[in-house]
Structure formats: structure tokens, C-alpha cells
């Protein structure tokens, strides 16, 4: 608890934890406290029972042992007959790899799924060996039958805030890593980039229905009083060593109240942490407003995995701004682009074009490409690419027109270096490459912030390279070189004649 800076944990919570600790000690613990012989024997029996439950969470030791001793064909028959649920294979067998093998056999050959030969044929080609499924089952995936392979490339070295980084990117899009690497080279050769985290806080917005608009307004006004907010924050913060409630934004629609809780979450992305804190905070609200009706823990004002103006304006996760001055000769000699054309294109494509499309947070060329590639490599939630890719790219001349000043503003990068898929071997290795694996021992939250800075800077590199290629007309050529299988290509004249003939036939 040495890292806790907020209110102290409630005494009843401390008593609960103390009681639990007391129950889980070995018999030597009891003897040192002079317990009666009767209580000591009872405690030993409870300890043995708890030990068995820890070894077998289902509490059915005899069943688990019997399943483990049965043959694969017997297990398959029991699943098909409905005696054993296939999603319980890992727990009942106590062998994750064997559970995956049996599920693969069942899939495609049983009415539990589709009993389709195509499924059986496809699943036979899906790899499943050489992965520790104990790190996956019950944590990252259910009904596991294998895994997919995504190539990982590296781009770098990226000079950011005086440090050099090698950036792993998991992608199936040819030319993406090469193009990003070209942008990184331009940034590094120009002296590197500088980053700042201007805001940090994960959000969750429960939906509460009040009896009337008047009561909805009273709830809002009550929360906005500082003493009441501190009371809510104390409850919220008591649920985690790292959760620190910073604000509650109240939005009213009719008699519905949406409370957008915002909290720091250490090195975790923090959705579960904030949700747990919100549940505790709602108890305080319920005590003071017994007529309130919590309809949902999430009312979509959060906003998670959907485009929204509130994320774009208020931020969510880590709000990062990165800048660099790119030298004119680097643009000319390395990127093969004209500086004036690059600036003009950015204005009319990324700013005007996106505005004409009614974009929310999409004032960029392809930020989501880089965000998704690094998300996949480092074990982030890929669906949060939706809001994490919100990005504003700005390019303007500087140094009396000799160079360009470039920046990206990304208000909602939602990342963590603990939790989710970050503990998986491959993803953990990629985080280690970046120097931000796990939780920071000295400054909780520093590793997650560093990852967000790296992502934003790599996005800027990707933006620089793509915009230079577009302004110089190189995009199609580079994709043909990096994103196509080698095959003899017909001449351009043949392609045009073939297209004309097809059009005439239509």
C-alpha cells in the first residue's frame, strides 16, 4: 500500500482482508496464537478444504480425477452426449493442451457446432502447438482451438525524448512497416521528436434513471459539491491501490443521468479497475438517493470502442501530443518530396477533406494503421483502436521556410503494460523490446504513458512517410513493390484493352 496517495482503505475492508489472511495460514500460525485444540482442528480441516478448492476450483475432485483418467474418445462422447460442457474442458481435465485437442476434434464433427466438413478441414490447418494455453484459458479467450499467426516487423531506431526505441509492429499489410520505418528515419535524422502527456484518465459512465427531471438535477448538483465528491472518491479509490478518481462529468437527458467517472489506473489500461470503482461509488449515491435506478454500468458516454465527440474533446486514456522539426534536405533527399506540396496536401486532405466527410477525430492520413499494428504486437485490446486512432496531423513551415514543423495530437490512446494480453509470451516480448514491460516499480503509470508516447510518435512517422509519398505520387508504386505476390504482370496497354472490352460487354 506504499504507493497509495488517496484516502485510506476502509477499516471494514482491512478487517475482511485480515480475516481472509488468517484463514489461509498453515497450522503453525494457529499454534502461535494459543487457540483451543478444538478450534485448531477445525481450522486445519478448513485449511485442507481450501487447499483442495484451490487445486480444483470446481470443487468436484473425484469428477475431475475421473475425467483426467478417461480417454480422449470417452471425453468426446460425453461432450457430444451433453454430459460435459465443452467450455469446461480445461477445468475438468486439468490439461489445457489436451482440452484444445479434444475441442478441435469435436468442432466440425458434432452438432454442438455445425457438423460441417469445411470446418473440420479448416480447423485441421489451424496451428495449436507451441503455445502455453495456461496463460490464455479463462483470461484472454474461451473455447480455444488454436491461434493465428501475424508477422511482426520492426521499425527504428526512433529517437524520442532523447532515447532510441525499436518499434515492433504486427501486421499483414505490406509496405506498412517499411513506410513507417522511412518516416522514423526522417525524424531521427532531423534530431528526433518530443512528446508530452497532457491528460491521463480512463473513463466509465454508468446510466442512472431518476424519477423526474427535478431529481436528476438534484443528483447532479449533489455530486458537484466538493464534500460529496470527496466522499464518492474515497469509496472509489478504496477498490484499488492505483485507482484515483479525478473527476465526474454529469450529462442529463430527460430524467436519465450519465456520470462520466475519470480515473488514473497505474500501468493498466484500466477499464475493469474503473468499473469496479464505479460500482462502489454507486453505493454511496444509492445511500443518498434511494429512488435512483442504475440501468447500466455503461451508458455509452464513456465512450468505449465507438467514435464519439466526447473522447475527441475530453480525452480518454492517455492524451498525447508529439512534435518534430523535419529538415528540408531530409524531405527532399530521403522522402523525395517537395515541402510546399507536402504542406498543401496535409491542409486539403487531412483537414479540409476530413471536415467535408464529417469526420470525428479522423484528421489524419492513416493513424489507425500504426495504432493497430502496435496494439496487436503488445497485447492491447484491438477494438479500442476505434478511439485510440483519433488523431490530428498538422504540418507547417518553420525556420523561414527551410524546414517543416510537424505534430500529431492524439487525445485518447487507451493502452496498458499490465493486464489483458500483455502477459502473453510474444506480446510481453514486444513490450520488453520497448522497455515498458509490466508495471513501473518506482512510478506507477510511467510504463503505460511511455507506450502511449511511442505509439503517437510512430503514428507521426507513418503520417510523414505516407503524406510525402502521396504528394510525390509514390504510393501505388510502393504498394506494388511491397504488397503484392511476385507474378508476371501484363503490360499496361493489355490491362487497358481488357478493361475496355469488359465494359463494352457489360
Would residue 305 show up in a list of annotated catalytic residues for this protein? yes
Cα distance between residue 438 and residue 102, in whole Å = 34
- Whether residue 79 contacts residue 49, with contact meaning beta carbons closer than 8 Å, is answered with no
- Say how many C-beta atoms besides its own lie within 10 A of residue 27's C-beta: 14
490: left (phi over 0), alpha (psi -120 to 50) or beta: beta
Find the radius of gyration of the CA atoms of the chain: 28
Angle between helices 37-55 and 11-23 in degrees, nearest 10: 90
- Whether residue 402 contacts residue 339, with contact meaning beta carbons closer than 8 Å, is answered with no
- Whether residue 101 contacts residue 126, with contact meaning beta carbons closer than 8 Å, is answered with no
Would residue 173 show up in a list of annotated catalytic residues for this protein? yes
Exposure string over 151-165, b if 16+ CB within 10 A, otherwise e: ebbebbbbbbeeeeb
Q: Which residues contact 162 (CB under 8 A, 6 or more apart)?
A: 192
Please tell me which residue in 105, 304, 381, 463 is annotated as part of the active site: 381
With H, G, I as helix, E, B as strand and everything else as coil, classify residue 478.
helix
- CA distance between the termini of the chain: 73
Cα distance between residue 249 and residue 14, in whole Å = 30
- Whether residue 309 contacts residue 360, with contact meaning beta carbons closer than 8 Å, is answered with yes
With H, G, I as helix, E, B as strand and everything else as coil, classify residue 45.
helix
What does the CA dihedral 265, 269, 270, 271 come to, rounded to 10 degrees? 160
Closest CA to 431 of 196, 193, 168: 168
DSSP-assigned letter for residue 441: S
Burial zone of 34 (CB within 10 Å; 0-12 exposed, 13-18 middle, 19+ buried): exposed
Query: What's the maximum distance between 2 C-alpha atoms anywhere in the chain?
Result: 98
Would residue 280 show up in a list of annotated catalytic residues for this protein? no
Q: Which residues are catalytically annotated?
A: 173, 305, 381, 479
Amino acid at each position: 500500500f506504499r504507493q497509495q496517495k488517496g484516502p485510506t482503505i476502509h477499516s471494514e475492508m482491512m478487517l475482511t482482508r485480515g480475516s481472509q489472511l488468517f484463514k489461509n495460514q498453515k497450522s503453525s500460525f494457529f499454534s502461535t496464537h494459543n487457540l483451543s485444540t478444538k478450534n485448531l482442528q477445525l481450522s486445519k480441516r478448513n485449511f485442507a478444504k481450501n487447499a483442495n478448492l484451490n487445486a480444483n476450483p470446481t470443487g468436484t475432485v473425484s469428477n475431475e480425477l475421473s475425467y483426467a483418467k478417461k480417454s480422449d474418445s470417452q471425453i468426446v462422447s460425453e461432450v457430444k452426449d451433453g454430459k460435459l460442457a465443452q467450455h469446461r474442458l480445461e477445468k475438468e481435465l486439468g490439461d489445457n493442451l489436451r482440452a484444445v485437442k479434444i475441442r478441435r476434434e469435436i468442432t466440425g464433427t458434432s452438432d454442438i457446432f455445425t457438423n460441417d466438413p469445411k470446418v473440420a478441414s479448416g480447423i485441421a490447418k489451424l496451428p495449436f502447438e507451441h503455445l502455453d494455453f495456461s496463460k490464455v484459458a479463462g483470461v484472454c479467450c474461451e473455447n480455444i482451438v488454436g491461434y493465428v499467426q501475424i508477422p511482426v516487423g520492426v521499425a527504428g531506431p526512433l529517437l524520442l525524448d532523447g532515447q532510441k526505441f525499436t518499434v515492433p509492429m504486427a501486421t499483414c499489410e505490406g509496405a506498412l512497416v517499411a513506410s513507417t520505418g522511412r518516416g522514423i528515419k526522417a525524424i531521427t535524422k532531423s534530431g528526433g521528436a518530443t512528446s508530452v502527456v497532457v491528460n491521463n484518465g480512463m473513463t466509465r459512465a454508468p446510466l442512472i434513471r431518476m424519477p423526474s427531471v427535478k431529481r436528476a438535477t438534484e443528483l447532479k448538483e449533489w455530486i458537484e459539491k466538493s464534500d460529496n465528491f470527496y466522499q464518492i472518491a474515497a469509496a472509489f479509490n478504496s477498490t484499488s491501490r492505483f485507482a484515483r478518481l479525478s473527476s465526474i462529468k454529469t450529462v442529463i437527458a430527460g430524467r436519465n443521468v450519465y456520470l462520466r467517472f475519470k480515473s488514473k489506473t497505474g500501468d493498466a489500461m484500466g477499464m475493469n479497475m474503473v468499473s469496479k470503482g464505479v460500482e462502489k461509488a454507486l453505493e454511496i449515491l444509492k445511500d443518498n438517493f434511494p429512488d435512483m435506478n442504475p440501468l447500466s454500468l455503461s451508458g455509452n458516454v464513456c465512450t468505449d470502442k465507438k467514435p464519439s465527440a466526447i473522447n475527441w474533446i475530453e480525452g480518454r486514456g492517455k492524451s498525447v501530443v508529439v512534435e518534430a522539426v523535419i529538415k528540408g534536405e531530409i524531405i527532399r533527399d530521403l522522402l523525395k518530396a517537395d515541402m510546399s506540396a507536402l504542406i498543401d496536401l496535409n491542409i486539403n486532405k487531412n483537414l479540409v477533406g476530413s471536415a467535408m466527410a464529417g469526420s470525428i477525430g479522423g484528421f489524419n492520413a492513416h493513424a489507425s494503421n500504426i495504432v493497430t499494428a502496435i496494439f496487436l504486437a503488445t497485447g492491447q485490446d484491438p477494438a479500442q483502436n476505434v478511439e485510440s486512432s483519433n488523431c490530428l496531423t498538422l504540418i507547417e513551415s518553420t525556420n523561414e521556410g527551410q524546414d517543416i514543423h510537424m505534430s500529431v495530437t492524439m487525445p485518447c490512446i487507451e493502452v496498458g503494460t499490465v493486464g489483458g494480453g500483455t502477459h502473453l509470451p510474444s506480446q510481453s516480448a514486444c513490450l520488453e523490446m520497448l522497455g515498458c514491460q509490466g508495471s513501473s516499480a518506482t512510478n506507477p503509470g510511467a510504463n503505460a504513458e511511455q507506450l502511449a508516447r511511442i505509439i503517437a510518435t510512430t503514428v507521426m512517422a507513418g503520417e510523414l512517410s505516407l503524406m510525402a509519398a502521396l504528394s510525390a505520387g509514390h504510393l501505388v508504386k510502393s504498394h506494388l513493390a511491397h504488397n503484392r505476390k511476385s507474378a508476371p504482370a501484363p503490360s499496361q496497354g493489355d490491362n487497358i484493352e481488357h478493361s475496355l472490352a469488359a465494359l463494352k460487354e457489360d
